Amino acid sequence: MPTVDVFQQLLILMIVIWTAAVFLRRFGLPTALGELVMGLLLGPAVLGWVHPSEIIEVLAQLGIFFLMLHTGVETEPRQFFAALRRSIGVAVIGAVVPFSVSFCVAVAFGLPTMAAMFIGLTMTATAVVVTLKVLGDLRLQDTRVARVIVSSCIIDILITLIMFSMALALLREGAVDPLALLLIAGRVLVFFAVTLSFGTWIYPLFKHPFQSRRGKGFTFVLILGLAFGLFAEFLGLHMLVGAYLAGLFFGRGVAHEELVQKVTDRLNGIAYSFLGPIFFVSLGFHIRFDGLGTSGWWFVASLGVAVLAGQILSAGLMARRLAFTWPESLTVGVGMCGRAEMAFVLASVGLSSGGIDETVFSALIAVIFVLNIATFAGLAGCARLLGRTDRCGDAAAASAKAPPQDRV
């Protein structure tokens, strides 16, 4: 694509991103909602003004990277690991139920067992980046609800990747090799063992260069994020897991407080004002309405409702068992309904491997779009509900010793 055309499309995207942000913020709505809708309108499905290109795809992938890196930097490690321990139940149940209901819907519509398995796994891959962007727009990113959602989404992604690798092995070989499954599980353990060891014992040795605001913390965080991300990709995981953990270890315990704030501000500008919005707009480019007949749209509606109900009930009720308030539990359930980058990847792999056909692929993309719209709108409603709960004193009544949003 000629350079002039690239800048023209980039200009269109940035005008749309800025306009959507100004308009939606006046109504207290998450800007990611407008970015996704504008991507649908500008993309091939409607107006066709902007088409997917290699440049836009690269910028979108960088957006995922910076969103996760920024989130990791803003998260206190102790809070994350405390939330991780509490999130296992939410994550496991929040993965099993969506997979089960998706599989059953696919079978009910007459799809083969293997296709139903790929559909179930695609609908299990939660969208941590999408949810984090919305939580940031709603100023909920530094709450215990957000931390549980993030850690649950990461666990779900790992579970989904392991199960998806098993499904691909079954598709290729007709049977699952136990040794191959052990190797997959081993790669996950190696990744976390190496990254956590580095962050706990080796990274603090770099403390000296970060003792003033003039330290090169931003460049170091980029190096660490790229290294962890590539290491995750090398082991067959997704780079977003590595980027998040890399940011997690750059904290106030190692770096000067003003340096951490400077790094956080720079990452915030890139992640939420430039590359991150391009990623959300680009998601709308993947929507195709052609090829879906009446039965296809019924499948989209049925699958979307089943996943929404199953995800909200399963994750929400598990959060309630962890002593979250009802509004917080509803927020956890709704926050885990988003599907984006990982779901797109899994759907694409399922199509290329022959697990699903183009019609099913288009239906999955449409369902992902519906789930994201529902997540954006639902979280906006939950934010208002949480605000009213706090003003009415219900949140304080749930715990007199510490406000729920300040405690893990």
- 345-364 pLDDT per residue, tens: 677 777 777 778 778 887 88
pLDDT at 312: 93
What six digits make up the tokens of 334? 């709704």
Residue 78 phi, psi dihedral angles, 5° rounding = -65, -40
- The answer to whether 277 and 351 have CB atoms below 8 angstroms apart is no
User: What's the rounded Cα separation, in Å, for the pair 143 and 404?
Assistant: 8
Alpha-carbon Rg for the chain in angstroms? 21
Predicted confidence at residue 402, as pLDDT, reads 41
- CA–CA separation, 60 and 337 (whole Å): 21
CB 138 within 8 A of CB 30: yes
pTM attached to this predicted model: 0.68
Where the chain has pLDDT below 70, the residues are 1-2, 27-30, 33, 75-84, 129, 161, 165-166, 168-177, 180-181, 207-215, 251-256, 287-293, 340-342, 345, 388-408
Domains with residue ranges and CATH for the chain: 52-278+295-358 (1.20.1530.20)
CA dist 377 and 381 (Å) reads 6
Q: How far are the Cα atoms of 29, 244, 354, 364, 388 from residue 115, in angstroms, in the given order?
A: 36, 32, 9, 12, 44
Q: What is the pLDDT, as a whole number, of residue 391? A: 44
With vertex at residue 342, the alpha carbon angle to CA 285 and CA 63, rounded to the nearest 5 degrees, is: 65
Q: What is the pLDDT of residues 138-173, one digit of tens each?
A: 777 777 888 888 788 877 877 776 777 667 666 665
Q: Output the pLDDT for position 28.
A: 60
How far CA 209 is from CA of 70, 194, 251, 261, in Å, comes to 20, 23, 14, 16
pLDDT at 201: 81
Residues 207/254, Cβ–Cβ less than 8 Å = yes
Q: What confidence score (pLDDT) does residue 2 get?
A: 66
